[in-house]
Amino acid sequence: MRIIIYGVGAVGGTVAALLARAGQEVVGIARGTQLAAIRAGGLTLRTPAGAFAVRFTCHAAPAKIAFRPDDAILLCMKTQDTGAALAELRAAGVREQPIFCAQNGVENERLALRLFPNVHGVTVMLPAQFLTPGEVAAFGTPHVGFFDLGRFPGGVDAADTTLAAALTAASLPAFPLPDVMASKYGKLLMNLGNIVEAAFGPGPDNAAITARLRAEGQAAFAAAGIVWRDVGAADPRRDALMQMADIDGIARAGGSSTQSLARGTGSIETDYLNGEVALLGRLHGVATPLNAWFTTLAARMAREGLAPGTIDRGTVPGD
What is the DSSP code string of 40-104? HH-EEEEETTEEEEE--EEESSGGGS---TTEEEEE-S-GGGHHHHHHHHHHTT--SS-EEEESS
- Provide the whole-model pTM: 0.96
> So what's the pLDDT on residue 233?
82
Task: Output the pLDDT for position 319.
Answer: 65
Q: Are strands 146-151 and 119-125 parallel, antiparallel or unpaired?
A: antiparallel
* Residues shown for the chain: 319
For each of the domains in the chain, give its residue range(s) and CATH number, in order of start. Answer: 2-315 (3.40.50.720)
Contact call for residues 259 and 129 (beta carbons, < 8 A) = yes
- Residue numbers in the chain where pLDDT is lower than 50: none
Q: pLDDT at position 301, please?
A: 96
Q: What is the pLDDT of residue 234?
A: 86
